[in-house]
């Protein structure tokens, strides 16, 4: 099914689309099955098969009724009202869909609001610990030091563990697991220290979506883990637009269906952002500025449920790190600037979690970095120096597992991936079906980090 992703660009029949967005998912699936039992074009057949997977997934992303969402807010915030929730819903700051004709909020709506709205966070009844502030201070100090020293290098030793939840465990059956591993990039001296159980296969260090692969009979309570170390080396970039070469390359400027495509709106938006500017470095900066100034950070439903991720960001002006990175990549490619994906983990002594960002190429400087979500966060906090840093640069606190978007594993999965475009936490499947993201847990442990 992985190779069929391109068919997401095909529109759904109107009757199915009406039922889907009214939230009548069971009825939509019935109509899909009716269509699939008829002679229909291959492109439509593939699209409808994909839609059945999307519908199965999307229902699990929206778990709060309006009443439950209101209670969540009122239990945690001082004097929160129903009218406020309606405003957040109408302004699309609290993500929702219809399920059986009733409003249901995304399971991450509360976390998004606390992360992105300082006025709402200030009303928390139980104040959070200050790890977030310490984390940001740690990053800010590193940025300052990186600019002073013109480089940054760290040794990082991590362990990643996944476990099937009891309700999804099929003890004694064959389970196949892919766990992300550090790949060759700005990382070097990569060492796979230990896998538990012993891995069946480890893909090459330069694989675009590198993993450790396990294929075993599942034991009761079994965990799958990878432990690895690497060195992260980054040089500080401060490219001068006046030094840009006249001749620029054309690699990594093509479309990649179904997401990195030049839709009519993407084309018009790019033209408006760029104007008459010809310098590719300034063009890339204009795109970065537009995204960081206009696209608000928001946790997302699973990417596998979205038919065009960059278009979503452009139309709705919201999205998480990957959504913003894809919009940057797509706009850059349309205006002739080579751009590509990087992702894995953001790792500091205070937090570890999935993260995505972008790279873009301008001769003679070569590949540069852009992290719109980190940059946008700094802009919202009025940290203009840090905002500027994340155009052209990264901090060294990353684990890069993926250097391409939408790339197959080695060996490939048999069933649908819960994230067919990226891999930050891992993928699992049985012989007869895939495991959904909500059916397994993941944890990360930082064993060592020190400057080198």
Question: What average pLDDT is seen over the chain?
Answer: 96
With 80 as the cut, is the pLDDT of residue 2 above it? no
| Interacting residues of 325 by C-beta distance below 8 A, sequence separation 6+ | 341, 343, 356, 357, 358, 370, 371, 372, 373
* pLDDT tens for each residue of 163-218: 999 999 999 999 999 999 999 999 999 999 999 999 999 999 999 999 999 999 99
What is the pairing mode between strands 366-370 and 391-392? antiparallel
Reference 297, options 313, 277, 282, 281; nearest CA is 313
Strands, sheet with 223-235, edge to edge from the N-terminal-most edge strand = 187-196, 223-235, 151-164, 440-451
Q: What is the mean pLDDT of residues 18-36?
A: 97
pLDDT band at 1 (very low <50, low <70, confident <90, very high): low
Per the confidence metrics, is the pTM higher than 0.75?
yes
pLDDT at 59: 86
Q: What is the mean pLDDT of residues 212-228?
A: 98
* pLDDT tens for each residue of 151-164: 999 999 999 999 99
With 70 as the cut, is the pLDDT of residue 132 above it? no
Sort residue 336 into left (φ over 0), alpha (ψ -120 to 50) or beta: left
**Domains (ranges, CATH) in the chain?**
1-128 (no CATH), 151-234+408-451 (2.60.40.2250), 237-401 (3.10.620.30)
């Amino acid at each position: 099914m992985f190779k069929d992703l391109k068919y997401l660009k095909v529109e759904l029949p109107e009757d199915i689309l009406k039922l889907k967005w009214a939230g009548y998912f069971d009825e939509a699936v019935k109509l899909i099955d009716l269509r699939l039992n008829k002679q229909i074009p291959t492109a439509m057949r593939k699209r409808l098969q994909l839609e059945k997977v999307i519908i199965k997934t999307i229902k699990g992303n929206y778990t709060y009724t309006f009443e439950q969402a209101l209670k969540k807010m009122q239990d945690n915030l001082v004097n929160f009202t129903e009218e406020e929730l309606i405003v957040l819903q109408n302004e699309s700051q609290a993500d929702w869909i219809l399920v059986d004709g009733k409003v249901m909020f995304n399971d991450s709506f509360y976390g998004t609001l606390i992360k992105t709205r300082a006025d709402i966070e200030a009303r928390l009844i139980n104040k959070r610990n200050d790890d977030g502030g310490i984390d940001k201070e740690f990053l800010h100090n590193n940025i300052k030091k990186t600019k002073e020293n013109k480089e940054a290098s760290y040794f990082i030793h991590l362990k990643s563990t996944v476990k099937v939840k009891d309700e999804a465990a099929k003890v004694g059956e064959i389970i196949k697991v892919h766990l992300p591993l550090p790949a060759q990039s700005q990382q070097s001296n990569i060492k796979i220290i230990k896998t538990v159980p012993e891995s069946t296969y480890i893909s090459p260090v330069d694989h675009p979506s590198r993993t450790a692969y396990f294929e075993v009979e599942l034991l009761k309570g079994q965990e799958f883990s990878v432990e690895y170390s690497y060195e992260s080396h980054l040089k500080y970039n401060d490219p001068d637009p006046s030094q840009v070469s006249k001749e620029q390359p054309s690699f990594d400027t093509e479309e990649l269906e179904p997401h990195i495509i030049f839709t009519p709106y993407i084309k018009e938006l790019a033209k408006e952002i760029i104007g008459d500017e010809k310098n590719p470095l300034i063009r890339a900066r204009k795109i970065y500025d537009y995204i960081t100034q206009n696209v608000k950070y928001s946790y997302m439903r699973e990417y596998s449920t979205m038919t065009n991720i960059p278009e979503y960001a452009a139309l709705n002006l919201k999205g998480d790190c990957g959504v913003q990175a894809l919009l940057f990549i797509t706009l850059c490619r349309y205006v002739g600037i080579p751009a590509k994906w990087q992702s894995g983990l953001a790792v500091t002594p205070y937090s570890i979690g999935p993260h995505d960002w972008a790279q873009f190429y301008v001769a003679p400087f070569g590949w540069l970095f852009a992290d719109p979500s980190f940059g946008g966060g700094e802009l919202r906090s009025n940290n203009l120096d840090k905002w500027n840093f994340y155009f052209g640069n990264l901090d060294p606190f990353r684990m890069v597992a993926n250097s391409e978007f939408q790339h197959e594993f080695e060996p490939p999965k048999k069933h649908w991936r819960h994230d067919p475009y990226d891999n930050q936490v891992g993928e699992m499947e049985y012989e007869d079906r895939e495991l959904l993201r909500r059916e397994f847990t993941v944890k990360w442990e930082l064993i060592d980090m020190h400057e080198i």
